Amino acid sequence: ADKSQNDGKITSRTTDEETRPDIQLTVFPRVIEPHVVRKEHDNNDCAQNNDNMPSSECRDMSKNYDEMLITVTLLRPEGRHELKFAQKLKRKEKIPEDDAFFRSTSSNTGKRNKDEERQSFQMPTIGLVGGDNMDKSYLTPLDLKRLAWGIQQVRGIMKQPPLSDSTGVETYPGTQYINGFKLETFIQENYLHNAHWSGTSRMGNLEKDHMAVVDEHLRVRGVENLRIVDASTFPVIPNGNTHSTVCAVASRAVELILGQNS
Catalytic residues: 196
In DSSP notation, 33-84 reads -HHHHHHHHHHHHHHHH-TTS-GGG---GGGGGG--EEEEEESS-S--EEEE
Q: Rounded to whole angstroms, how far apart are CA atoms 254 and 252?
A: 5
Region for residue 130 given its phi and psi (left: phi exceeds 0; alpha: psi -120 to 50; beta: otherwise): left
Contacts of 258 (CB under 8 A, 6+ apart): none
Contacts of 144 (CB under 8 A, 6+ apart): 184, 187, 188
Number of CB atoms found within 10 A of residue 71's CB = 17
DSSP E strands, 96-157: 102-104, 118-122, 125-128
Residue type at 154 in one-letter notation: V
Sheet strands side by side (includes 3-6) = 3-6, 9-12, 23-28, 69-74
Report yes or no: 148 and 179 within 8 Å, Cβ to Cβ: yes
32 phi, psi to nearest 5 deg: -125, 0
